Amino acid sequence: MEKRYISKEGLSRWFKALLAGGKRVYAPVRNNDKVDFKPVRSLDEVADDYVQTTQSAKSTVFPRAEVLFSYQKENGITTLNDFDPATVPETVVWKIHPCDAVGFIPLSQIFNEGYEDILYKTHLEKTTLVSFSCSHADSFCFCTSVQGGPGETTGSDIQLTSLPDGGALVEILTPKGEALVQLSAESFEAPKEDEDKAQYLADVPIYFQLDEIRNKLKDAFNSDIWKKQSERCLGCGACAFVCPTCACFDIQENPKGSQGQRIRCWDSCGFSLFTQHTSGHNPRAVQSQRWRQRILHKFSYMPDRINIFGCTGCGRCSRACPVDMNIREHLTSLVK
């Protein structure tokens, strides 16, 4: 890892260089009281003075809807047109939080485990993550309880820590990050030895011990806590869709006459139809079973299977939930 310093002017020059190279730059943009990732053309468009974006940045590597392949049927002959990796643009995700960058890791594990998912792999290869450490947090954040933190660098290609002078401390973490820096190398100065990143980080209290949660969940399948916790859950997909690590998807057909596309789109284990068989039999017929699946999958099944937790403590699910299903609160009450 290499440390640097970049001034306010340097940042502006570097940002222009990113755009000039033809890269697609996604950054948080404000829309009334919501902030979300959008393609931007200048640094002015980037929002500040917010704690967290509504949605994660996972749509850059795992789009909301993606064409897997297309088909044509003509004169009794069917032809398939495969996904073309060359159509995926180079992308920079600017100013994500450490919890989001970390979120790409469980996502990648899921898509790389066993069979390799070439669509995901292509998107990830062409995406560089520029995270900014967090100087603010709110009561929904709990990154420090899930092995993360406001200055965690795992998963980022570059991490910036904003300074009062408008510049930033820079940590170049991967070759991809280095390549991005090289687009405007002169904008980067020698590191400031007297600056300590830690003093600029938000204070995020630890609310629970992850090991305790995992141990508790081993025997919790038949507990009646799931019913109690999920009573007010409406069964919408908001929590799964805003989550940086939720990767469940649906595969659907988009026919248009004699041609069409096969499309992959986001899905949620919280929807009532997720596990329903064609016969009508549904192993998870009531919401308490689906809520249990969400928690067990992220905090018990995933660590057992691929050694990684399915939560980064970003708090988005809790903020997005129409009925205030606060995951930090639910987890803490599990071990109370």
Partner 1 sequence: MNKIAEKAVALLQEGHTLVLGYEEGDRAPRPFFCRQAEEAQHLVLDERCTANLAVYLTKPELMGKGRVAVFAITSSLRAIAQLTAENQLQLENLTILTLTAEQEIKTFATLEEIRSYLSEVPYELSDTEKALDEKLSAMTREERWKYWINEFSRCIKCYACRAACPMCYCTRCITEVNRPQWISPWPSPLPNMEWQINRVMHLVGRCIGCGACGRACPVGIPVDYLSKKMLQDLSEEFGYVPGQAMQDGNALSTFKPDDKENFIH
Partner 2 sequence: MEKPNIYLPYLMKIAKITEEAPGVKTFQLHFQDPEAEKAFTFKAGQFGEYSDFGEGESTFCIASSPTRKGYIECTFRAAGRVTSGLASLEEGQTMGFRGPFGNTFPMDEWKGKNLVFVAGGIALPPMRCVICNALDTRENFKDITIVYGAKSVDDLVYKDELKEWGERPDVNLVATVDPGGETPDWKGEIGFVPTVLEKAAPSPENTIAIVCGPPIMIKFTFPVLEKLGFKDENIYTTLENRMKCGVGKCGRCNVGKLYVCKDGPVFTKAQLRDIPAEEY
Residue 278 dihedral angles phi and psi, to the nearest 5°: -60, -30
Residues 109-148 that bind partner 1 (CB under 8 A): 139-140
Question: Nearest approach, Cβ of 271 to partner 1 (angstroms)?
Answer: 8
SS3 content of the chain, % helix, strand, coil (to 5): 35, 20, 45
From the list partner 1, partner 2, none, partner contacted by residue 115 (C-beta under 5 to 8 A by kind): partner 2
- Give yes or no for residue 110 binding partner 2 (CB under 8 A): yes
Q: What angle do CA 60, 12, 186 make, to 5 degrees?
A: 105
Which residues does 107 contact at the CB level (< 8 Å), separation at least 6?
A: 58, 61, 62, 120, 244, 245, 247
Pick 191 or 235: Cβ nearer partner 1: 235
Alpha helix ranges (H) inside 203-301: 210-218, 225-230, 238-242, 287-296
- Give yes or no for residue 273 binding partner 1 (CB under 8 A): yes
Pick 261 or 332: Cβ nearer partner 2: 261
CA atoms of 266 and 274, how far apart (whole Å):
12
Question: Nearest approach, Cβ of 271 to partner 2 (angstroms)?
Answer: 11
Q: What angle do CA 108, 113, 119 make, to 5 degrees?
A: 55
Instruction: Using CB under 8 A, pick the residue from 44, 193, 324, 336 that binds partner 1.
Output: 324
From the list partner 1, partner 2, none, partner contacted by residue 152 (C-beta under 5 to 8 A by kind): none
Length of the chain equals 336
Q: Report the interface residues with partner 1, using CB under 8 A.
A: 31-34, 36, 54-55, 64-65, 139-140, 231-232, 234-238, 240-242, 250, 252, 254, 263, 265-266, 268, 271, 273, 286-287, 318, 320, 322-324, 326
